[in-house]
Amino acid sequence: MQITAHRGVSSLAPENTLAAFSKAIELDCEWIEIDVQLTLDKVPVVIHDSTVNRSTNGEGLVSEMTLQNLKSLDAGLWFGDAYKGESIPTFEETLLLAKKSNLKVNIELKVYLDDDILLLCKKVNQVIRGSKIADSQLLFSSFNREALKMMQYICPQVRRGQLWREIPTDALLLLEEIKAYSVHCNYRFLNEQQATQIKQNNYQLYCYTPNQPDQVKQHWSWGVDMMITDTPQAYADRLQ
Ligand code: G3P
Ligand code: MG
């Protein structure tokens, strides 16, 4: 459990698409990371930005488009002609693929301005329950502490990871509050002292998004458990 394919294998296929998740399965990655938010008609979908502008051929806010609008967009063409016809996947489609392929999913709960966090959590939980995927195959993560706190009550059986850019000085207190399983931080800002403290307190420690193994040579020796990367293929010795 050392490598997570960030937004799927997003260096080889368009991010957050079933094609990128299938690449992760081909490469024998144990985990993928995905970004989840709600459509206008309150369906959880997998897309990173608040708008569709960068990762599709459309324009507009995800929160102002229905699932039908979103599904009519091409989410692959921007990456390359070979991916023409890829669509924004629903969270449900993603879980069904993961369940079938025994792929573990780090579900990043994306919260943008004015988003209804409680509704996002409830809808995500509904899809998880409907999919009948094993809870052990899942992990929630978020920069938004409210989302993690809500999930602690709505779906306590799924583990929670706190996302930070840089680990704050009061990290242990904050982690205890949400009964966290893991800490996910930007590899650039992690130092050995912070890593040691997190590991001594029995949390899993993950780093995003080192795309070259050289960038994190030291980090493994500090006790980092997993790298969340766009380029799992560069870490071939650490795949399953
Ligand atoms: O989970 C790590 C990473 O995905 C957090 O940042 O912006 O890529 O979603 P971002
Ligand atoms: Mg993410």
Would you list the DSSP string of 93-155? Answer: HHHHHHHHHT-EEEEEE---TT--HHHHHHHHHHHHHHHT--GGGEEEEES-HHHHHHHHHHS
pLDDT (tens digit per residue) in 34-84: 999 999 999 999 999 999 999 999 999 999 999 999 999 999 999 999 999
Tell me what pLDDT residue 171 has.
Answer: 98
Q: How far apart are CA 126 and CA 43, in angstroms?
A: 10
Question: What is the predicted pLDDT for the residue at 1?
Answer: 59
Catalytic-residue membership of 219: no
Give the residue whose CA is nearest to atom 2 of ligand 1. Answer: 208
Instruction: Return phi, psi of residue 218, to 5°.
Output: -75, -35
Decide: 206 in ligand 1 pocket, CB within 6 A.
Answer: no
Quote the pLDDT of residue 239. Answer: 80
pLDDT at 80: 97
Percent pLDDT > 90 in the chain is: 98
Mutate to test the pocket of ligand 1, among 47, 62, 108, 167 (most ligand atoms within 8 A of CB): 108
Task: Indicate which residue of 4, 6, 32, 97 is catalytic.
Answer: 6
Query: Which atom of ligand 1 is least distant from the CA of 6?
Result: 4
Partners of 160 in the β-ladder: 140
* Residue 104 pLDDT level (bands cut at 50, 70, 90): very high
Q: Give the active site residue among 20, 39, 44, 48.
A: 48
Q: pLDDT for 11-32, tens place per residue?
A: 999 999 999 999 999 999 999 9
Tell me what the mean pLDDT of segment 178-199 comes to: 98
Nearest CA to ligand 1 atom 10: 48
In short, whether 229's Cβ falls inside 6 Å of ligand 1 is no
